[in-house]
């Protein structure tokens, strides 16, 4: 059976777009503006559009390994998985803004909603109080309309997912292996429950085993998808601290739950607090910091944005990306909306004339606060 070109190319990119090639492909995405435009380019045209070496695009845009791609597709279909490319609406908007986003994601379960997201991470060998805090955070954030992101590891990650599942809320597991690989084994019963309300995602091709170096790599997706990363329990040398460091590099908030100074499992998270991380005691501390559209306080229904009437398609798209509390510059908005610069500028003018957007010093923009 013939593999559709976008699926074939997505599987091919997952195996070839690493290191310099990944950066080159992202550059091409930004220049081309659409998947159709990318797929219509040859290596020479892509090199001219980006100013990069043609040899890189000879691999990225060249023929794929037919038997390997067919096997990848078989594995993906066996778990009802799908490919999400950079240009798909389902691709997380915040992830597009990081310096090294994956060209494609593999996903199974519910479609990613794009709602405000918070990562809750921590120790695999967590204490009982730590597990309870993570579960309550997952549940409280989920009830407030926030997607709960974590790494599906044992310990804190699993507890955060469990809390969101209890609240019948969206939760996203970012895996360090292929979608069709069962890891960790003790979470085999957790996965179907998670997929019932949420999504499992991975940048690794189907069949990829859980190699140790995959997990620091996948941590950038955890941090990149999230408005805030909350560390519940972490030792001084912990993968959770890698996620927190990445979040800071991406300009995102980092929070930490305080723990006993006598508990080595809290030494890393307590150090984050000493260095200025946001103190997190419950979901209310998180919600007050992220100020995310649609993130209601606990016990309140999630807010649904009302689109003002009379706006054209570009202005509506831009309006949805703007936020009253989060400042965004034109470059971030181009990436998030995928509008060409000229159309973005026209949409900004339209929203300013309607009094719906405010330009602030430093050439950044926010949505005007709604009057109560």
d(CA 272, CA 66): 48
Question: What are 72's strand-pairing partners?
Answer: none
Same domain? For 52 and 11 the reply is yes
- The 3-state DSSP class for residue 253 equals strand
In this structure, what are the phi and psi dihedrals at residue 155, rounded to the nearest 5 degrees? 85, -130
Is the Cα torsion angle 89, 207, 194, 250 positive or negative in sign?
Answer: negative
What is the pLDDT at residue 238? 84
Sheet holding 364-367, edge to edge: 328-329, 364-367, 357-360
d(CA 215, CA 52): 30
Domains contained in the chain, number = 3
Domain assignment of residue 28, yes or no: yes
Structure tokens given for 12: 């091919």
Domain assignment of residue 275, yes or no: yes
Helix, strand and coil content of the chain, in percent to the nearest 5, comes to: 45, 15, 40
Q: Name the average pLDDT for the chain.
A: 89
Nearest to 171 by CA among 113, 250, 241: 113
Question: What are 149's strand-pairing partners?
Answer: 119, 172
Same domain? For 71 and 168 the reply is no
Structure tokens given for 341: 């610069």
Q: What is the pLDDT of residues 110-165, one digit of tens each?
A: 999 989 999 999 999 999 999 999 999 999 999 999 999 999 999 999 999 999 99
Last residue of a domain, which of 49, 78, 107?
Answer: 78
What is the pLDDT at residue 225? 96
d(CA 84, CA 7): 9
What is the pLDDT at residue 258? 93
Domain assignment of residue 110, yes or no: no
- Segments of the chain scoring below 70 in pLDDT: 1-2, 292-306, 369-372
What is the pairing mode between strands 328-329 and 117-121? unpaired
Same domain? For 168 and 276 the reply is yes
What is the pLDDT at residue 369? 66
What is the residue range of 67's domain? 1-78
pTM to 2 decimal places: 0.77
Domain assignment of residue 372, yes or no: no
Nearest to 37 by CA among 65, 72, 9, 70: 9
What is the pLDDT at residue 342? 85
Same domain? For 320 and 354 the reply is yes
Radius of gyration over every alpha carbon of the chain, rounded to an integer in angstroms: 21
Same domain? For 28 and 172 the reply is no
């Amino acid at each position: 059976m013939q593999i559709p070109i976008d699926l074939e190319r997505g599987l091919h990119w997952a195996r070839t777009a690493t290191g310099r090639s990944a950066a080159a492909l992202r550059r091409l995405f930004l220049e081309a503006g659409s998947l159709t435009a990318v797929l219509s380019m040859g290596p020479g045209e892509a090199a001219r559009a980006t100013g990069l070496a043609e040899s890189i695009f000879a691999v990225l845009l060249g023929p794929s390994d037919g038997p390997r791609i067919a096997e990848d597709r078989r594995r993906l279909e066996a778990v009802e998985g799908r490919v999400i490319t950079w240009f798909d609406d389902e691709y997380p908007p915040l992830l597009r803004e990081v310096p090294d986003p994956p060209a494609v994601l593999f996903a199974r379960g519910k479609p990613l909603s794009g709602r405000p997201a918070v990562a809750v991470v921590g120790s695999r060998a967590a204490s009982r109080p730590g597990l309870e805090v993570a579960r309550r955070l997952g549940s409280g954030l989920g009830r407030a309309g926030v997607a709960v992101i974590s790494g599906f590891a044992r310990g804190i990650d699993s507890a955060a997912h469990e809390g969101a599942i209890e609240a019948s809320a969206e939760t996203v597991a970012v895996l360090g292996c292929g979608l069709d690989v069962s890891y960790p084994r003790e979470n085999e019963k957790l996965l179907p429950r998670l997929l019932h309300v949420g999504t499992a995602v991975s940048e690794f091709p189907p069949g990829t085993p859980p190699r140790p170096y995959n997990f620091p790599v996948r941590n950038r997706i955890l941090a990149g998808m999230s408005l805030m990363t909350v560390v519940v329990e972490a030792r001084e040398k912990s993968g959770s601290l890698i996620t927190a460091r990445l979040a800071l590099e991406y300009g995102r908030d980092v929070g930490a739950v305080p723990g006993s100074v006598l508990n080595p499992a809290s030494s890393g998270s307590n150090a984050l607090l000493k260095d200025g991380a946001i103190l997190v005691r419950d979901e209310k501390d998180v919600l007050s910091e992220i100020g995310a559209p649609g993130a209601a306080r606990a016990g309140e229904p999630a807010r649904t944005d009302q689109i003002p009437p009379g706006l054209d398609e570009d202005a509506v798209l831009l309006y949805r990306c703007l936020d009253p509390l989060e400042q965004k510059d034109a470059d971030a908005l181009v990436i998030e909306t995928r509008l060409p610069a000229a159309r973005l500028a026209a949409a900004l003018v339209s929203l300013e004339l309607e009094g719906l957007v405010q330009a602030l010093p430093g050439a950044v923009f926010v949505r005007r606060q709604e009057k109560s």
